Structure formats: C-alpha cells, structure tokens
Amino acid sequence: MREPNRQIKTFLEKQKLPLSAIEAVEDICIHIVDKEGKTICYSKGCENIEGEKRENILGKTIDELYTFEKIKDNPHGSIQLKVLETGEIMKNNHVMYTSKNNRRLDVISSTYPVFSDNGEEVIAAVCVFRDIGDYMKMANTIQKLKSDLATEKMGKSNNGTVYTFKDVISQSKSMEECIYIAKKAARSTAPVMIIGSTGTGKEVFAQSIHNESIVSKGPFVAINCSAIPENLLESTLFGTCKGAFTGAMESTGLFETAKNGTLFLDEINSMSLSLQAKLLRALETKTIRKVGGNEVIPINVRIISATNQDPLDAVKSKQIRADFYYRLAVISLDLPALKDRKEDISILIDSFILNHSAVLGKQITQISDEAYNMLMEHDWPGNVRELKHVIDQALYLADFSETLIKAPHLPKYLYDNYSKKKHVSKYVEKQKDSLKETMKDIEKEIIMETFESCNKNITQTAEKLGMTRQNMQHKLKSYGIR
C-alpha cells in the first residue's frame, strides 16, 4: 500500500486541487495532518491568524504546535486528534487554543477524516476553520450597546414598557387572531391571563395590551413569581410595615407601585395556594394590607397574568385554585408555540437580521437556503427567544464581508438535528468512507467557502484555487453550487 501522505497528495492532484493550491488559500484556514498528527498542509490563512510561517509548522505534530482548552467528551482538546481516533466527521465546533508563539485563538472548525484506499484506516484529518476571536471580543460591547438602545427606548415610553403591538412580528393566522383578541382586551379593564410556553412573547403581549389601554399613561410593573422566594413574594406584592419581622423596614409593595397602571404577574402558576388566596381577596375587595400592618389600603390596578402551562391542568393538579383562575382569566390569550406557526420563521429571521446586522457593522441581509432549511426543520423548544439567539450568534460569527447567514454560522445542535431528521449526510451514517468520497466532500466545502468569499466571482475563485475558469465552472455545476 502506498504511504498515506502520497495517497492524499495523489488524489488532490487528480482533482486538480494540489497541495500548493490549498496552501495559497488566504480567506479560510486549512490544516491537514497525517495519521501521526503531523502537519502535511498549512494554508496561508493559517499563517495569517496564527502568526507562523509554513516552514516552521510542516512536519510538526498537533501536540508540539498547540495547547487546547479541554472540552467535554474529548480528552485531546484537539478536534483533529479526535477525528483521527474516531473516524467521524465533526462540523461547526467552537475551539479555543494557544499557538506555538503563545497566540490565543478562538475558532469555528469543521474536520473530516481521510481513509485509506481500502477504507480501513484513517490516514489524515482535514480541518477547515475560521477565526472568530475579534467577533467574540465585540460581543460584550455590542450587548452593552443593545442594552443602552433598549434603555433609551424604555425611557421614551415613560411608563416602564418597551413593546407595543407593532413589535409583534407575524404573518400567521394564529398570531393575527391573538393580536385581535389582545387589542379587544386592551379596551377593557378585565383581568387577562396569557398562556404560552417559554419564549413565546408573553411579556411582549402584556406590555402591548397596557400601551393600548386606558391606563397606558400609568406604570407597567412586572414580576416573575417563580424568581422570588415564597416568604418574600407576599411582602414584595403588598409591602411591609417596619418591624413586621426581624430586620423588616417600611416598604411599598408592587400593588401600590402600579397604582393607576398595570401589574403583570408572570409564571403565576408557581405561586403558593395560600398566597393565591390572599391575592384573590385583594382583587375582590380592591384593598390590601401590608405585611405586619392593619391599615386597609385601596388599590386601583389592572392585572395581567401569565403562565407557561395549561391553567386548567394546573387547576386539576391543585397548583392553581379554581376561584383564583376564574378571577384572573376573565380574558384568556393562548399564544402558539413557534413550531406551530412556522410560516412566521422567515419574517422573524428577516426582522432580526434587519435590526441587528447594521448594529454589528455587518453586511448580512439574507440567509442561505441550507441554513434556512435547518431552521425550518428545528422544533424550537425555546420559541422566538431561541430563534433570536440563533440569529444573533450567526451575525456575530459571520465575516464582515459576507452578505449571507450560512450553515456554518449556526449552532452545532441545529446541524445535528437537521442531519438526523433528513439523513442528508451519508458520512455521519457511514463512519468509514473511501478516500475519493471524503476528499470530494472536503473539496466541495473549500470551493463553497472560497466562492462565497469571492462574492461568487468564478474567475477570482478559480485563480485562488489554482484552477482554470472552465474547470471551476464544471466543479460548481457538479457540486450544485450557485
């Protein structure tokens, strides 16, 4: 059998993609090691981000060159060494490591095994990666900017809210019906209960109802009932008198703070039955007593509550008192999960890109077909909040020159879920591929990355990869790259 390095070089040359062409690529980093972990190919892109010359790297092992931050289920730290050991493809991995010259790097990588002609031995691992260090450093700055913008917006509302119905992004019938009901609820003073799983936008609707109601000029006060210990929740809602318990000081409760406005009680299903009874009495009598006090204080506040579980199930399981439920749910609003209104995903993606791309200084305006399909196949247990997080992450990871969110920008779990559902990757199902099949997959990714970085200019792509324009056109057509 021919030596592994010769097998790799021979195959690359047959594909008109010689090592010299790979080494010349600057826009992406390509690092190939043999079965011993020794470097046999190190692209110009690697030189640029690691600050090392190729001649100082070739022949050196992974362990000699890098120190990795250990990650779960991989004692090596190095993804390439794990691929050499397991023969599995590993895509879209976040890796942090220190180079030979003590440069700390933060990258996203995809690594592919190369098998011998008979498919029985892993003879190399090809790693294609990009530096995301600068983007990660920007994250805190960007987050602060977004926070400042939100604070500024809140200041303009002058009542403690950020959202109105204009912020509800939807084109589905189910959400349009929710908006219709919510707007009708806003015109009344009846208590409203909003039902929906985490991330569906319960507080967005609560604030929107407040801002379209007759108490819109009053304060909007929100509290998450599950976030406050039971022994403090009562005093938080009703206030305390000095000396009511050890260390207690005179304080105003949220019922008084929300006077002539709206009190939003989130995750009401986490409230104890005894406190539900006290709250029910307050709503029925429109009065409260502070903890430790005897004075009856009149209240004038509109109540909006929210629960992340079916309230009727909570009533049956005695988590919510039946009389308490009927008092709070005079009007009920059931928000659909994102998986049940997938026709809204595209418009949500467009909105998130439009609002955040410019803030990050990016040119992203769209999402690729592959990335879009991955998002459409996901079930979104975190709903709109999870989708926003995914798009934000993708925008952080995209290069400043890119105009599309692509699959490598998305979290690894989305790719894994997509692969399992669609069974699109024969390489995941079949751990040992022939050298020819594996190298074609690697070649396709290199061409796709370079083609995108050249803004889909065929001539420039061909020049960077050392091919003729005619041959590049053939490759693009055969791989279905447009």
Measure the CA angle with vertex 171, ends 397 and 341; round to 5°: 75
When pLDDT is averaged across residues 121-141 and rounded to a whole number, the result is: 76
Query: Using one digit for the tens of pLDDT, what is the confidence trace for 213-232?
Result: 999 999 999 999 999 888 78
When pLDDT is averaged across residues 173-185 and rounded to a whole number, the result is: 96
Burial grade of 254 (CB within 10 A; 0-12, 13-18, 19 or more)? buried
Query: Using one digit for the tens of pLDDT, what is the confidence trace for 443-467?
Result: 888 888 888 888 888 989 888 888 8
Q: Does the pLDDT at position 16 exceed 80?
A: no
| CATH, range 155-168+173-335 | 3.40.50.300
Confidence of residue 270 (pLDDT cuts 50, 70, 90): very high
Encoded tokens for 320 = 């919510």
Confidence of residue 477 (pLDDT cuts 50, 70, 90): confident
Burial grade of 227 (CB within 10 A; 0-12, 13-18, 19 or more)? exposed
pLDDT of residue 91: 83
pLDDT of residue 424: 43
DSSP state of 244: S
Cα gap 38→31, rounded to integer Å = 10
pLDDT of residue 348: 95
pLDDT, averaged across the chain: 85
pLDDT of residue 231: 78
pLDDT of residue 282: 95
The domain limits of the chain are 4-131+434-479, 155-168+173-335
Confidence of residue 410 (pLDDT cuts 50, 70, 90): very high
Residue 196 near residue 338 (C-beta atoms within 8 A):
no
**Least confident interval from 87-91, 108-112, 311-315, 433-437:** 433-437
Q: Does the pLDDT at position 76 exceed 70?
A: no
Q: How far apart are the first and last CA of the chain?
A: 39
Query: What would be the CATH architecture of the domain defined by 4-131+434-479?
Result: 2-Layer Sandwich (3.30)
When pLDDT is averaged across residues 353-380 and rounded to a whole number, the result is: 88
Q: What is the pTM of this model?
A: 0.59
Q: Does the pLDDT at position 307 exceed 90?
A: yes
- Cα–Cα nearest to 95, from 83, 84, 85, 80: 80
